Structure 1
């Protein structure tokens, strides 16, 4: 038998005849499976960072990830050395194909590990190691209700005590967030649940949770609301403290509960339910007291109420979607374009929003579909970008509108930026932008464009709002928008072409901006946010909120040009929503002067009147009258007294129409008409202070209670009851009687007294009719 020397067999550690002694050349490993569409995880300030992982944020959501290894050697690649996290190194045999070697290594189990790998040749030479991060998360987050004992919840329990906890199993992607919530099968905003809003008995509470990898699960709690006299007492005290029930009425209700504890409970609770039905505002507060009292009376009569089977079930849920990676293409050029626009983003070094490339791409699509040309100026798309268009008014004037696509930063427009043609020449971009607007140019501010040029007051006026802060949320709420909140968008002016397609109220998921000043004071508000739908959301924060008035989208005629702002759109899914695509398209068309829309403001009219007074086309007396009517309309508008604002706007228009007929005053006449139309839109939708019913006269026996009520509608209505004693001509306030109902214990001396209530809100006040009390003796 022929013996072959070990040298020729290529035994490990022994050099082959052709072996140079050099280590293998290691390729960068790839990971599998690969998603069909690249996911966009955001950008550094210098590069996009797409990902082919199956989940979001660079995570894989399957149970296995294959590390695909390859290397070449001047002889033979024998194996690969793989170390996953702190695990021991594993030698993986190579599949040899000439000088090339390949291998697959399967990594299993949830982890967030650094994987170190190198190649080894037949002679034992080891390549320099490379690393790759492998993130696997297969488990959705978990919800639990530790505050719900044995499936039962007292009716007076505080919402905070039963709010579900949210955790993501370790190791995992984290970021557990409530993406949806349902009460008794009906979708609702994910706010802590107040048990008092539900009836006694069985209910379900379901939450859909998502994590940062895109996993989701739905957890449904079946629970039972219970009640007792103690619950009723706690609810009455809560409603009194909140100002929903007056202290005197609350004292009467509490006295009846004390009777129920110490005497004839059935009779006391029956009287309690009757009184609560008369003195507690209509809605869940009244229902919780009246129905609970009836429930407890039934129990005292021996009625058996069935127990509810309680517990938590888990079903498939919906995690957040992957963000399809897309970047701007070549400039849009049409054969016979109707107009031309410019899209621009932030300068290098500024915060960069993830929605920018998709939003730019979608607007390019709009240009192709609607026959307008689109240029891009963005440092992350140098191959398709035009030279700095803000270097000269000649360059910028070729555009009918410019669109700031989250153009964040105090250096977005510099007063001394080096010219591209000659770095020694400084360009005043601010002066160019201002001249462009003064010449009639259009500006569209999308989302972070309001977070820009904080030291330039003129620009803040152009954008119409200055970003201050926004809320926060778990990372599982929305891919690339971890600060997104779920809230309600309210369309305030649906006559504008940019808002006609929206329903009056719409659930949205987006990053919700708060402002350093109230935009309503300066602009024509189109859409607002209903903060009550998201302030205090489970697992989320709202930032420094605006309060009762939170504009989020608006337009205005500004300093010779046109400005349209949509401060939503951080969420890339909204960019793909046809409602918002139409919103952007119509905003762009209006800003470009292609369509007309009512974007008048009181401030614009104020400046037109002042300009007329300055050039003599508006006489001093007329200017004074116009300013007075306009100021009164503005003051009423700010407190949402739209009826008053409309009346004063009509006075302003009448003065204009009666006195200003020349062609030079056409703009003022048009804007006066628009102001009236705008205020009418708001007045038609606004709540008007009025009584829904009037107090009725009562005839009762001495010692009995007489209830007078006069509920009213309006904005934050305040009540004050008044009494006119028998034989008196004077009305006096009744101390403490500040709800829609007053309870009077009848005595013979009160027979013939009269009662009425004064109601007020920011728009004014009203007096109800009077009702008399007749007391019969016993």
Structure 2
């Protein structure tokens, strides 16, 4: 009996040892089948399987999956959510216990949990962040109360407000905008571009969790004499209407308020039609005046039913995580490239793994081999350091810097991976590789590198300065992405010939400094800054102005370089149009295809080389350099016709004076330079008059209007007059728009008027028109 009594307590004591359960890390569900890429932390990729981007769940219920083990049995789990604790019974399976607990409602906070065994022993507490956001952002138009707004209201005053209900993901970006059903860039709306009456303004706004809604406002634009006055003053301030012409228009509005309103408004509309630029400015004044005249005449304008409708929107997509795989090897490879990213410590662009994997796909599909050198993919990277020597690099036909950010990407004294105690000069190895005919492809952040090394900045063709930012709901892995217009300037290169002339792109749009692309490379694509500068909810950073290159190529220092500064946004990496862009850029850089990447700088270098080896004499060099410089200077101000003419001089002189196979390179480049300038000239806006002044006969006291609108680049005007019997022309003070209005008087009979129009490419003078007075 004593032995039996001793045995039983012994068993019970072992089962209830007092040891707490071992608590596993909880998981959340539902689980998305494709992990979302959320960046890098602690030199490792960060992914999530939430239903939305950035670790957010977009369904109302999220299940907390709990598990633990114990030497006896797990009895329950205590879960604390927002300060409230519940006990969840465990499902026992031997010494293991599991449970689930549903967490409902929008939240962004920590949930703690512990496991408790049958004896009451509790495990150490763990916690997990639970992010649930089921509500899309909200848009409102407080600047358009009751759906009615004055025609002269300023754009900033009527922008839609955007808020994301707390405790949501935040961010409320305008992803799309439509005016009267037509998609437009999400810019502040200038009501003057619309007519008086009924309109719709719709915005698709998204938050950082991927929720979105479309808000459509139906509103009415109203007008008055005060609106017309404000619009005239705005156009005068903008320099679109001259001060004297503006004064005439304002005088008629004053007359409308104090005298015969209908007659004054009719005169106002007639004068505005003659002295206001064609387009929305003219329409806003002429049509508003006609609308007010109709009201005075008793015309009944229909009432507008205003209000806001809400419908489903389209939010940001999840970034599907994909890392580069094993090196690509083909049976009969056409060429071989190396992909490399940045070094540890530098900013890590989120697009890098997917871009590398995409280029590997291109390698398999197009029979070229692909190696990877990237510290976050050591298991698939080449052994050692491929930049240790030019000999190692020589196996590659092109090197591809995939956002290879940082000033320490290439250094002159990095420890050797093959010779202990020795150092290698990576910069020298890269230079030798390029000078031996190697190719280089710079993708996005590769231009944000080696800021202290001029040779590299010339190789990639531009030096990153900054970029803009957005409201947060554009792309969770691209905080600087904005929506803008991409223009293909040269569609003859294989990397760009498949692009439309203009297309909408959402990406991080780089601005440049110091080494400006236009000055030294062959620009392929540019950005239209007016489509995103001052956009709703975003900042553009320090912008470039009238000329904003974003993609280019160049023959540099014996090698070839292709740069695409877009592609931070993974959606562009996944787009076939950009995949072909990168494929053809790689093929050209690898010497596998031909493409015109000539520059004026390259031509100067070829002439200098010819002088050095005796193939170009001093006289010919002077002729060539003079034409090259003239073409270059015209090219910089976008006088492409003159740039083409001078490039043709270069081509003609080279062809006539440098025959023979030894001079083939300079002949080919001279031909390409002329062809490039012709591509630009064929598309150029040439300074010219659209119409010119015509003689006019008026009665004394009437307004005489002469007009000569011109097209060009930011055209400036100056009217001139030659008085009867005068020999010389004199500038008319203040008359600096395309039209001039003068009061016909007997003293002015026989006066002649003409205008001088100018832009950066030069100046032209219209024919003169005589004023006759009855």
Partner of 2:67: 70
Structure 2 unmatched runs, 5+: none
Query: Does structure 2 conserve the Cα–Cα contact (< 8 Å) formed by 1:514 and 1:544?
Result: yes
- TM-score of the pair, normalised by structure 1: 0.97
Q: Are the structure 2 counterparts of residues 711 and 49 from structure 1 closer, same or farther at C-alpha, using a change threshold of 3 Å?
A: same
Q: Label 1:692 to 1:31 Cα distance change in 2 as closer, same or farther (>3 A).
A: same
Shift of 1:658: 1.5
Contact 1:8–1:17 under 8 Å retained in 2 = no
SS in 2 for 1:502: coil
1:37 match: secondary structure: coil
Task: Establish whether residue 158 from structure 1 lines up as the match of residue 154 from structure 2.
Answer: yes
Distance in 2 (CA, whole Å) between partners of 1:694 and 1:400 is 58
Q: Does the 8 Å contact 1:450/1:465 carry over to 2? A: yes
Give the SS at the match of 2:361: helix
Q: Does 1:139 align with 2:135?
A: yes
The equivalent residue for 2:615 is: 617
Q: Distance in 2 between matches of 1:404 and 1:17?
A: 62
Offset at 1:423?
4.2
Match of 1:648 among 643, 646, 651: 646
Contact 1:67 1:105 in 2 (8 A): yes
Q: Which residue is equivalent to 1:466?
A: 463
Matches within 5 A, 1:461-500: 461-500=458-497
* Among 239, 252, 260, the residue aligned to 1:256: 252
Which residue pairs with 2:435 in the alignment? Answer: 438
Distance 1:90 1:703 in 2: 91
Quote how far apart the aligned CAs of 1:15 are: 6.6
1:88 Cα offset (Å) = 2.4
What's 1:167 paired with? 163
Q: What is the DSSP-based 3-state SS (H/G/I as helix, E as strand, rest coil) of the residue aligned with 2:165?
A: coil
CA contact (8 A) 1:474 1:483 kept: no
Deviation at 1:289, TM superposition (A): 0.2
Matched residue, 1:531: 529
Q: Find the aligned partners of 1:267 and 1:651 in 2 and give their Cα distance.
A: 61
| Aligned 1:194-233 pairs, distance under 5 A | 194-233=190-229
Report SS of the residue matched to 2:55.
coil
* SS of alignment partner, residue 421 of structure 1: coil
Q: Deviations over 1:673-718 (max 9, x none)?
A: 0010000000000100111111111011111111111111111111
Structure 1 segments unaligned to the other structure (5+ residues):
none
- Residue pair 1:151, 1:224 contacting (<8 A) in 2 also: yes
* Separation in structure 1 between the aligned mates of residue 613 and residue 419 of structure 2, nearest angstrom: 43
Work out which of the residue numbers 519, 522, 533 in structure 2 matches 1:521. 519
1:469-618 maps to which residues of 2 (within 5 A)? 469-517=466-514, 518-618=516-616
Give how far 1:392 is off: 1.3
Match of 1:182 in 2: 178
| Structure 1 residues 739 and 337, CA gap change in structure 2 (3 angstroms) | same
Q: How many Å separate the matches in 1 of 2:579 and 2:253?
A: 58
- Measure, in 1, the Cα distance between the counterparts of 2:410 and 2:8: 71
Deviations 1:181-217 (A, max 9, x none): 0001100000000111110001111111110111001
Counterpart-to-counterpart distance in 2, 1:190 and 1:426: 53
**Are 1:712 and 2:691 matched, yes or no?**
no
Query: Counterpart in 2 of 1:454?
Result: 451
- 1: CA distance, partners of 2:356 / 2:59: 33
Aligned partners of 1:45 and 1:350 also within 8 Å: no
Secondary structure of the residue that 1:383 maps to in structure 2? coil
Given the alignment of the two structures, is residue 422 of structure 1 paired with residue 419 of structure 2, yes or no? yes
Q: In structure 1, how many angstroms separate the alpha carbons of the residues matched to 2:42 and 2:400?
A: 20
1:191 equivalent to 2:187? Answer yes
Secondary structure at the counterpart of residue 384 of structure 1: coil
Q: CA deviation at 1:422?
A: 3.4
The ranges of structure 1 where at least 4 consecutive aligned residues each deviate by more than 3 angstroms after the TM superposition are 14-17
Deviation at 1:755, TM superposition (A): 1.1
Residue number among 314, 338, 349 corresponding to 1:318 in the alignment: 314
Does 2:24 align with 1:27?
A: yes
Distance (Å, rounded) in 2 between the aligned partners of 1:354 and 1:15:
56
C-alpha change, 1:627 and 1:381, in structure 2 (3 Å) is: same
Q: How many Å separate the matches in 1 of 2:116 and 2:704?
A: 96
Provide the residue aligned with 2:339 in structure 1. 343
Does 1:372 pair with 2:368?
yes
- Aligned equivalents of 2:358, 2:121: Cα separation in 1: 52
Shift of 1:729: 2.4
- How many angstroms does 1:18 deviate by? 2.1
Q: By how many angstroms is 1:89 displaced? A: 2.0
Kindly state the Cα deviation for residue 17 of structure 1 after the two structures are TM-superposed. 5.5
> Matches of 1:457 and 1:15 in 2, distance apart?
78
Equivalent residue, structure 2, for 1:764: 762
Q: How many residues align?
A: 766
- Residue 53 in 1 paired to residue 50 in 2? yes
Distance 1:542 1:570 in 2: 15
Correspondence for 1:287 among 283, 289, 292: 283
**Residue of 666, 674, 687 corresponding to 2:685:** 687
Q: CA deviation at 1:161?
A: 0.4
Mapped contact 1:246–1:738 kept (Cα < 8 A)? yes
Partner of 1:673: 671
